[in-house]
Amino acid sequence: MAGSDALSSNRSGAMAAGMEQLPAQQNLFGESLEELPVVRAALPTEEVVRTAARMPKNLHFGTSSWTFPGWAGIVYHDVYAASALARYGLHAYAKHPLLSMVSLDSTFYRPAPVEQLARYAAQVPDHFRFLVKAYSGLTTAPESTRGSGTGESVFLDPDFATRAVIRPLVEGLGSKLAVVLFQFSPLGAVHTRAPGSFARRLEAFLGALPVGPQYAVELRDAQILGSQYERALEATGAVHCRSVHSRMPPVDEQVTDSGKGPLIIRWMLRPGDDYESAGARYAPFHRLVQPDELSRSRIAGMVRPWLVPGLSGALSAERDMHIVAANNAEGSAPATLLELAKVLAFRDLNSVEPFRVSGSGRGGAPRDC
């Protein structure tokens, strides 16, 4: 597609490692800045700048993590090691005109300390936002395959969540914290056969968390969806995170949209695909490999009703919206977001013409992520 070509055109000029040095002084964390590599931002294409200028300020696009060397020439000026991008790359990422948010995924595996979170917040401007995945122990049922043999369970433990997750996030990220996401791994038959019982337990958990942050729930079991689940979210002010994922129904058919709270969408995986094979096909994630036009059409259809054209040509939004894309969705998360933004920016907002579906997704047993 044209957008992916425009994104990848800058790649040819990317150099394989260049890292400049900051002046000799210390930062707030006591590190010598002369030893810190500078990760430089790529020069955005005219298409990216023009598209981003049309987007509402409260429509935040972001990617699932930011540590991909293959984004050289797209997001980053050069090819940097993933480890360097993880520690120092956010400030360059945040300079991309379209990327005003990021999904912090490493916290799914281990809660981040306040100091690390503050380091991230210091690298980005005030308007930038973080969607943060809560520690997986809170969302992994001990009865499930993933939960067996993991030691003492903190599944749906609000005290642990408050102490180890919520308070550090609020202190470290401050106003830049947009969403705390509880992504549940496949729960197992104990819960999927009794969705009402799970919904009641979820409501009690969410209701016991500190007031202030926006909480969202993402599922990997379609059996949990329904009126009892939606009532649990509404009662606690939480929202459902709609996901494009092989284990879930179509993104626009998962819950009834009451219009309350932000619209949160994570475009993770082409329906019918699995993470391992998608990652192998799509690496190094520098271009769209397998466009998923049906999912793009569905997501655009969910966003478009909330957009209002302005006299200056820019759009405004009547609702906060956060859209995250992963590389495994189509091949390159930044390219995925650009193509979606172009659809929203330059097509008639009243148009309901569907995209041409280019083919069905590949089969394979999906792995949760």
Domains of the chain by start residue, with CATH: 2-346 (3.20.20.410)
Share of the chain above pLDDT 70, in %: 82
Q: Burial of 161 by CB count in 10 Å (0-12 exposed, 13-18 middle, 19+ buried)?
A: buried
C-alpha angle with apex 98: 51 to 333, nearest 5 degrees? Answer: 110
Q: Which residue, 121, 138, 244, is CA-closest to 181?
A: 138
Neighbours of 214 (CB within 10 A): 18
pLDDT tens, residue by residue, 192-228? 999 999 999 999 999 999 999 999 999 999 999 999 9
pLDDT bracket for residue 146 (50, 70, 90): low
Residue 265 DSSP class: E
Coil, helix or strand at residue 10:
helix
pLDDT at residue 10, rounded to an integer: 46
What pLDDT, in 10s, does the model give residues 264-310?
A: 999 999 988 999 999 999 999 999 999 999 999 999 999 999 999 98
Q: What's the CA gap between 285 and 263, in Å, rounded?
A: 26
What is the CB neighbour count within 10 angstroms for residue 60? 26
> What is the reported pLDDT for 310?
84
Q: Is 364 buried (19+), middle (13-18) or exposed (0-12) by CB count in 10 A?
A: middle
Using 50, 70 and 90 to split pLDDT, how confident is the model at 143?
Answer: confident
- Per cent of the chain over pLDDT 90 is 78
The confidence score (pLDDT) of residue 151 equals: 59
Rounded Cα gap, residues 50 and 211, in angstroms: 38
List, in order, residues 6 or more apart from 8 with CB less than 8 Å away.
73, 74, 286, 287, 332, 335
Q: What region does 17 belong to: left with phi over 0, alpha with psi -120 to 50, or beta?
A: left
For residue 146, the 8-state DSSP code is T
